[in-house]
Structures are given as structure tokens and as C-alpha cells.
Structure 1
Amino acid sequence: MKLSRKVAVIGGGVAGSTVSLFLAQQGIDVTLIEKGDSLVNGPPFCHLHAGGNLYREISLDQCESLLKQSIEFVKFYPYVVNARPTVIAVPVSDNGDPAALERRLTHLAAFYQNLVDDDPSNAVLGKPVHYFKSYSKDDLRRLSKLSQPCDLTDLEHWLIPFSQQVDLERLKYPVYAVQEFGLSLFRVAASIQLRSAALPNLDVKLNSEIKELHPNRNGWDVQLGDNASEFYDFVINACGFETGIIDDMLDCKEERLVEFKAAYVTQWSEKNGKWPEVIFHGERGTPNGMAQLTPYADGMFQLHGMTKEITLFRDGLAATKNGSAQPQLPNYLINKINHGWQATIIEERGRKAIEHVAQFLPNFKTATVAGKPLFGAQQIPGRNATLRSADVSFGHANYARVEIVKASSSLEAAKKIYHKWFTTQRINLPGDSDKRKPIRKTDIESRARSIAKQRQYPESLAKAY
């Protein structure tokens, strides 16, 4: 049995796909409309953000939201995380204070403990008492003399290769190891594809683009290309950085930002052990912007450098203006989205990313650029460029826009939509207690590797780490 209402979700990124999957699992008829040839092919994500510790500038409320949303995301999508800690360090050249990080981490550990006390299944990041641990310079010197064991049973085991490679004189102390896991874009995409295919009430329309959208009685007439329009009771706008295009069709004067960013795929044969993720804090947009080293299988590392020469771009942050809800990025960035990158630019910016990390890990200068960047543009609702926790807003009747900044917020958006539109109309569904048919971890990784290969990325980025 299914709900009689029909929902059109526009946009098949992680937000639109997650909302579609969740609603379909509740028995609702959903049509997912994606203009590209595959799902979850938007801006890159590589980090769960369970606590928002990469961002010193955001509020504790945002940190708590990201922690809670990340836990729910992992429970909804098993097998998509790379379960290794993140090392967070403050360079000597930075104005930050490690003590401020510890105060926030202590607060988040207590918040995590409360979530686990309420529901033991929330302990997806390990025991709350082990959420983070601090390390002094002497601790790192001691660890640098050890060999990393094959069985990594303690946080400090992960810090052994870091302690052996980092320039200890360039850091303030203590540094912190936090249970902030990695997130595999390709395994998320694989999970969505496999689970969507098993739902007969979820219709995925690829290579389809909205031509017209008009209110009709208590719903919407939606036209795709030259096809006749079809009626839907609800429309969900999950168009990512093009969310404003649909808003303009409906004359919704929403304010938002759009930001273009890129991360660089590198390989480091001298990695000497199994690495954690590593964050060196820095002032965003300056030459000393944050450096981020994200490990994958086979010695692959994804790099962010929050400078305008690496991850950020000239005029890469655009705001709404002139009465339109769609911010306009410069043409040279739109060309990257639509047509890809020149090989010389990939090498040039990739080398700059390597050099940015090598200022703290000198041996990393031997790393090589190993593929095209992961890149894209994302929307940020409102005018606050530091906003990191966002999910859904409701405009016209029976119209919602999903605008997430972090992938883990997408499930929260789905739940809010469901509770606003459907809980009062819901009927009992057979098999309600088991909405998710189990999919094997090996099936997900196999599909993920195929997706990576199709998109011309190293299959190593899809493997469990």
C-alpha cells in the first residue's frame, strides 16, 4: 500500500537522492528528476563532519547539529564511511589557540555521550569517552620511535606515521585526534543506486531537465523537455548550486550564495603506514589557509588548501543580485563545471596543493598529481558564508527547497519534509519495520569502484579505507 500523493524531486545530488530514497521507503510515490547521466555527481565530499571540527568559526549549535546529523546519516547509509580519526593541529604561524579547540571538543564529547545514553545505536563513532584525545610534543616524539602495528586498536596507533613525518617545530600544542571519519562519495552514490533500484515507487529520470513548472490547484504541473506536463502534489527543489533557477521560475526572491571549490587527487608512495586524516588550521582565503590531507587506499590522498590558488578561486563566491535567486559564477568556472579542466591547470594547482601540505609534512613534496580534481559548486542559503549546517526551507504551498552545505545534512532535510507533509496522512505500510533491504558491503564497493572508473577517477577513492 502506498500514499496517494505524488512527489517530484528536482536534482539527483546527495540531497535530492537521499530525500527521494527516504520518502520512497515510507511508501510515497516519488519521481527523481536529474539532468545528468548519473546520481550523486555534484560537488565533492570526503568528510563526515561529525562535530564540525574543521571549522573554528562556526557556532556550537552548528557543531551539535552536524554531529547529530552525521550519526543519523551513517545509520541510514552503512558502509560509506572510512573509519579513521582526524588529527587537528594549529600551526605556529596561525593565531588560533589549541585550548579553544579542547573546550569545544570537551563539549561535543559530552553531547555525544548524551546521544548515546538516549539511544545506544548512536555510538557509530565509537565510545564517547574516546571521541578525542590530546597529544603533546613529547607524546609525538615518543610515538615517532614506534612502528605502527597492523591492528590499529588505539587512537595513538594512527598518529605514528603523522609523528614521524610532521615538522614538530611548526605546530602549537597539544594537537588532537578526533573521531571525525571520512565519507566516500562513490560508496554513497553506489548505496543510493542499489537501494533506489529496489523500490518500485521510486522512478529515476536521468538526462531530464525541467522546462516549465506551474502551480495547479493544490499541486504542480511539471514539464520535462518537449514532453507533456505531468501533475505532482509536491515539488522538492534540490538543484544544488542551480537551486535559484527553479526559484526564479516561481518568482521566489530567495537570497543565497554559491561557491566553487576543488580538491586534488594525489599519490604518495612514501606514506609509511596507515594515515589518519590531517587538518592544519589556517585563515581561510589567505596564503596560510587550512591544509587538509584525506587518506584513501593505495597511497591516494585528496588535498584541500583553503587558499585562492588551490581549493578556492578568484570570484568563486557569488551572491544573489538584480532580483534573481540564482547567483552567477564567472564563465571560467562554469566552463570547468560543464567542460572539465585543462591538463596544465590540473598539474599546476595540484602541485600547489602538494606544496601547501609539504610545509608541514616535508616528505610529502615527493607526492604526484594522480588524476583530475574533485570539484563543483555548492549553494549556501542566506548571506552567511560560514554557514555549515543547513537543510530545508518551505516556500510556496507544497514546495520545498533542500539546500545542504554538508552531505550529512541531507537525511535531516528528508525527515523534516516527511513530518511536515505526510505524517498526518500516513497509512500503515506492510514491512514498515524493515524498510531497507540489506545490501552487502562488497556489492556497494564493487558498484562504487565502477562509478569511479566511469567518472575517470582512481578506483582507490571508492575502496573502504
Structure 2
Amino acid sequence: MNLIESKTTSLPHSDLPTTVGIIGGGIAGSTIALRLAEQGIHVQLFEEGKSLVNGPPICHLHAGGNLYREISDQQCITLLKQSIDTLRVYRHTTNIRPTVIAIPCNDVGNPNDLLPRLALLQQTYQTLVEQDPKNGVLGDPKDYFKLYQRHDLERLALRANPEHPLTPDQWMIPVAKSINLDQFKYPLVMVQEYGLSVFRIAATLTLALNKLTQCHVHTNTKVTSLIENEQGLGWQVSYQDSANQQHQINVDYLVNAGGYRTGTIDDLAHIPRQRMVEFKAAYITHWSQCDAQWPEVIFHGERGTPNGMAQLTPYPDGFFQLHGMTQDITLFKNGLVSSNEDSAQPQLNASFKEKLQQHWSQQEIEQRTQRAINHMAQFVGKFEQATVGGKPLFGAQQIPGNDPTLRAADVSYSHQRYARSEIVKASSALSVADAIIDQLAALHLIVRPTQQTRESEFPISQQLSLHDIVAYAEKLAAERGFPTSLARPIGHNIK
């Protein structure tokens, strides 16, 4: 058992006997633990890995869900609100640069079909900022998106790349100079969807929880048994620590935040649930000849076909993370599986389980990364110069229910004292934490906290400095075998 010690004093409600057990130390479980512990609630957090937040290749905030044409407007609004909360709480984890959306001529989509949703999101954002100016974390609402016709790009292509782009036009210059303008339908869209650093999120959560006596973090720990107490008033959790020692602890409330393995915890608790799991990977590339700061660029395409969406995510020092939504790149044949009547846990085949244990062959790393480079180079010709920049970022993503297009999800309940985190996107984690606070109060397990601002709900984590977070994030990236550049900020928040 790895018990994170603290040097801080207790917060309100620390004298309450209620203890919440959280199984899974990914973005959801760790965020829930932080939210509860910051309110003085006692938490036992169990994580099988050696550190927190080791999940899927998080790289994008999804402040409006504009990467996904197929999801509903309501899901987009939900993702917008959740992203604003995430930016307010995890203020040093975002890469403040816009996202460009381009529709190739060979795609069935029409750029004008995007405009009603963009207008709705802009108006929603405007309303949220009017309600609370602190919600203005995506910039001025009038700048939420901007349209570019071909003549705009021809004009921008004549300008030099700025060293530190600030305006939408400045961010668009390297795109205008690098793409074949004949390949696209117009307008192109620039939208204020930012990047999200998985390493700085992991660093923020680890450093903050390290300061909270209310939260005991058990890493290298496997939960082996769950027994519901008599009258359903809590759970007995059995677990095995890194020394293979067996332990038991009683908790008043249990949160299943197992990520793609959420179903295994449901099985231990004998609680059925229908869900899907999808294995995905993103690829790290290095473009040493790159001479500009790029926005993120999304080239829309039909998912699962050879023309699937291509996603270019920039990091410092010429590193780029690539997604190609084809079965030869990010998606995998038989990579989407469903649960069945015998188990709540969808079963990936042996090859995926091997990858999830960090066992990729060098040949497959190079082969799939090169395919990702080729997929991007059909739109950004000079990107063919890029090389393999490291091992893939990968993981399995859970999707509750049976709709593979679901992107905005948060929490479900099967028992009075058992909650299940079912986020698909990282920005949904705070919604789960809020819902669990409400549930604990409704069950009279805690005194309902007084109304607070987002920032005041997280007094300890708000004190963390960008310098300390980046330094720890670089350490995590190196320990996990990734370029430390992926841990550093890019965009307006460079200090």
C-alpha cells in the first residue's frame, strides 16, 4: 500500500465518519477523490497501476464537441459546460490554442451544416459568461468561432509565420501556407477548442492529493473482493497491495471508476450492466522541419473508412500527436466489443490485452505511426517529413449502453450506496464528482456543502503553480517512456 502523506490541516466535515471508497485512479476516479477530499470527506482511492491517470490518449478538451458531426446538439452543449468547469479547476493543464475544422472535397459533409450548431454553442457560451464572468475561459464569446473562405486563406498564406500567435488569423497562417486549397470545401472553421495535457492532469491530481490527509491513495493495489454490508449500508473492500499482502477495509459508499475495466468491478459487486469498450491509439511523431506554432487541425472524414478523420495535435519542439480514424491507424479491427449476459465486462481479445500491458512490437509502432503520417500528409504535404517520435499513446475507452457515438456521459447508480463513473471524455469527470456529492448529501452521509464557486471548491489544487505541475508532468512523461515535450504547455499559457 502506498499511502500519500499530507502536511495540511483538515477541511470542513473532516470529523464525519463517512468514508468513500473509489476503485480506479484514472481521470475520473482521481477527480472524484480530489473533489471529495477538498471538501473534507474521507476517501480511500485504489489504483492498480503505479501512478494516477494512465488511461486513454487524452489530448483534446472538447469544448463543444465539434470533432464529432454525429453527436446531438445537447451532447455538444453538455461538453461545452463540462469543459468550462474543467478549465476553471485544472487551469494549468490546457494548451490554449484553437482548433481548425476542414472538410475535404471527397467527404460527403457540407461546412454550412456545421454553422447552426456553432451559433448555438456560441450563444450558450455567451449566456454562461453573462451568468458568471469566470466562465469566460474560452476567450471572448464573439470569438468562439471564425469562418475562413478561400480568399482569406490565400491572403494569410502570404504572411510570415508568427513566433507567438495570438489572434485567430495568426494561428491560421501555417495552415493556409501548408494545405492544398483545392482539396477543401469552404468555409474552414476555427473554433476555441483547446488541448488537454494528460501528463499535467496526472501531475495536478497527484500533487494535490499528496497535500490532503483526507485521501489515502493506494497505488499498485488490486481490489479482489467486494461484499455489500447487511442492510446495504456500505461495502467491505478486500485488496492486495504491491507486496501481495491481503487487506480489508469497510467503506460507507463505493464508487466504481474502473475506466475500461468498470465491468470487472460490477462483476465483483454482482451488479449487471450493459456497456461497450473500444481500444484506440494515437501516435507520437516528430516534424523537425516544422517552423511554426500550429493550431490543432481536424480533417473530417467517415469513421472506419480509409478516409477517416485525420487529427493533428501540436506540442512543443516539433512533436505532434496523430489520430487517423481508420482501422489501420487509430481504430482496430475487433477493437469495439460489448458486454454480455454473463459479465458486465466486455472482453477484448488477447492482442489488445497485450498492448494494454505495454507490449507493442517495434514493427507495429513504426508501421502504424507511418500510416498516420501518410494519412496526414495527404492534407499537409510537408508532413511527410515527420518521423516516429515515440511509442503510441493508447488505451481502452468505455461507452455505457449500446450507442458507440455517445460522447457526453457521467454517472449511473444501481444500488443506494454504489455509483458508477461512466465518462467517455475527460471533461465529464467533474460532473461525476458533483453528482456523487449530491448523492452523499441525499443519503445524509455528509452535510451538503454550502454553495461555492468552482475555484473555492478546490482550495488546495488551486494553489499549485504551473512550474511545479510542469516539472512533475515532465517526470511522469519520462517515467512512462514519452518525450517530455508532451508535458510542456503550448499556446497562450506559456509562461
TM-score, structure 2 normalization = 0.92
Q: Give me the whole-angstrom Cα distance separating, in 2, the residues matched to 1:352 and 1:434.
A: 45
- 1:128 — aligned with what? 141
- 1:460 — aligned with what? 485
Indicate the SS of the match to 1:173. strand
Which string of whole-angstrom CA distances, capped at 9 and with x for unpartnered residues, describes residues 158-210 of structure 1? Answer: 01001000011111000000000000000000000110000001000001111
Match of 2:238 among 211, 215, 223: 223
Please, what is the CA RMSD of the aligned residues? 1.4
Q: Give me the whole-angstrom Cα distance separating, in 1, the residues matched to 2:76 and 2:24.
A: 27
Indicate the SS of the match to 2:395. strand
Match of 1:66 among 72, 79, 83: 79
Indicate the SS of the match to 1:191. helix
In the alignment, residue 426 of structure 1 is paired with which amino acid?
Answer: V
Task: Indicate conservation of the 8 Å contact 2:38/2:457, yes or no.
Answer: no
Match of 2:377 among 336, 355, 358: 358
Q: Give 1:154 deviation, angstroms.
A: 1.2
- 1:112 — aligned with what? 125
* Worse overlay, 148-157 or 50-59: 148-157
In the alignment, residue 135 of structure 2 is paired with which amino acid?
Answer: N
Q: Give 1:427 deviation, angstroms.
A: 6.9
Which string of whole-angstrom CA distances, capped at 9 and with x for unpartnered residues, describes residues 308-331 of structure 1? Answer: 000000100000124311001111
- 1:176 — aligned with what? 189
- 1:422 — aligned with what? 441
1:439 aligns with 2:446: no
The correspondence of residues 266-415 of structure 1 with structure 2, limited to 5 A, is: 266-415=285-434
Task: Indicate conservation of the 8 Å contact 2:163/2:292, yes or no.
Answer: no
In the alignment, residue 234 of structure 2 is paired with which amino acid?
Answer: G
Q: Give me the whole-angstrom Cα distance separating, in 2, the residues matched to 1:289 and 1:204.
A: 40
Q: Give 1:30 deviation, angstroms.
A: 0.2
Which string of whole-angstrom CA distances, capped at 9 and with x for unpartnered residues, describes residues 131-179 of structure 1? Answer: 0000011110100000123342310100100100001111100000000
* Worse overlay, 250-259 or 372-381: 250-259
Match of 1:192 among 183, 189, 205: 205
1:55 aligns with 2:68: yes
Q: Give 1:428 deviation, angstroms.
A: 7.2
Q: Give 1:272 deviation, angstroms.
A: 2.4
The change in CA–CA distance for 1:435 and 1:107 in structure 2 (over 3 A counts) is: closer
* Worse overlay, 356-365 or 265-274: 265-274
Unaligned stretches of 5+ residues in structure 1: none
Q: Give me the whole-angstrom Cα distance separating, in 2, the residues matched to 1:20 and 1:339.
A: 26
The change in CA–CA distance for 1:427 and 1:415 in structure 2 (over 3 A counts) is: closer
The change in CA–CA distance for 1:81 and 1:339 in structure 2 (over 3 A counts) is: closer
Indicate the SS of the match to 1:159. helix
- 1:92 — aligned with what? 105
TM-score, structure 1 normalization = 0.98
The change in CA–CA distance for 1:339 and 1:294 in structure 2 (over 3 A counts) is: closer
Unaligned stretches of 5+ residues in structure 2: 1-12, 491-495
1:145 aligns with 2:188: no
Indicate the SS of the match to 1:174. strand
Q: Give 1:229 deviation, angstroms.
A: 1.9
Match of 2:254 among 223, 232, 235: 235
- Matched length: 464
Identity of aligned residues (%): 50
1:163 aligns with 2:188: no
